Amino acid sequence: MTTLSRIQKLVAIAVGGAGGVAVYLYTAKRDNASVYNSWTTNTVVPDEAKWDFNWDHRDPKSIVKPPSKHATEDEINSYNEKLEAVKPKAVRHLILIRHGQYNLEGLTDDQRYLTETGRTQANLTGQRLKVLDVKWDKMIRSTMTRAQETGKIISTELAMNLPIENCSLIEEGAPIPPQPAVGHWAPEPAQFFQDGARIEAGFRKYFHRANVKQEKDSYTLIVCHANVIRYFVCRAMQFPAEAWLRLSLNHASITWLSILPSGRVILRSLGDSGHMPPKYITSR
């Protein structure tokens, strides 16, 4: 039988009779109830909320054939050795930079060059990246004019012989129909079909854990566009990709993701523009 606490006894006496017993039974049961630190009381994590460690198809357990149920000790040891041999050792840091403010009146890509504010924003972001004292391994730029210019300004500010690659996969576009939908922005379904495949290909090209031969952590700068970065963040964090338009990024802002050897992904910063004076912070 459950022992009454001093307070529960006093409550029972004060209320009296059957009513007091009822109050005691209620409070005793309540005291033993579980409390969840969340708005939900789900005791079982739904499948869609579980982390998929093989999201990049590079989980060592998916590469090495597992031993059979009747495997010998030598076979199990051999399997463990092969597993260790393909496990990554380094962290891949991907730092995504949105281009600076550009000329919205431009009708073609070459007319959508950076404004004076946009060039200042890129310069400030370059200064911020420089003081981090990180050994950048390379920069990848979208082939669109505004990203090319932003990347050039940043690389000049870094003042180092930084290898630069240009990539058309990470050009701006419409990755996937957003949820909830936005009335003033509604591309044709064909645009999502075309852009989405391209942007997803960009994600698969750059987002994966380190190769087993990589000994040291790497730091890669990717200069591209807001829609692309927002989609990449959702995909990398295994959030519903349709949520990408719920995120907002300022011009020349810094988004930092780290891919660990285990396959876990850490979002260290999203759209950071705190290194800019307020008068230079823009998003449109």
Q: Known binder of ligand: residue 102?
A: yes
User: Residue 73 and residue 63: Cα distance in Å, rounded?
Assistant: 21
CB neighbourhood size of 270 (10 A): 18
| Whether the Cβ atoms of residue 259 and residue 193 lie closer than 8 Å to each other | no
Q: Known binder of ligand: residue 37?
A: no
User: Residue 192 and residue 194: Cα distance in Å, rounded?
Assistant: 5
Q: What is the DSSP string of 159-217?
A: TS---EEEEGGGSS---S--SS-BTTB---HHHHHHHHHHHHHHHHHH-SPPPTT--S-
| Whether the Cβ atoms of residue 102 and residue 114 lie closer than 8 Å to each other | yes
Of 186, 178, 197, the closest CA to residue 239 belongs to 178
Q: Known binder of ligand: residue 101?
A: yes
Q: Known binder of ligand: residue 166?
A: no
Any idea which residue has 């409390």 for tokens? Answer: 35
Q: Known binder of ligand: residue 146?
A: yes
User: Which residues sit in the known binding site for substrate?
Assistant: 98-103, 146
User: Which residues sit in the known binding site?
Assistant: 98-103, 146
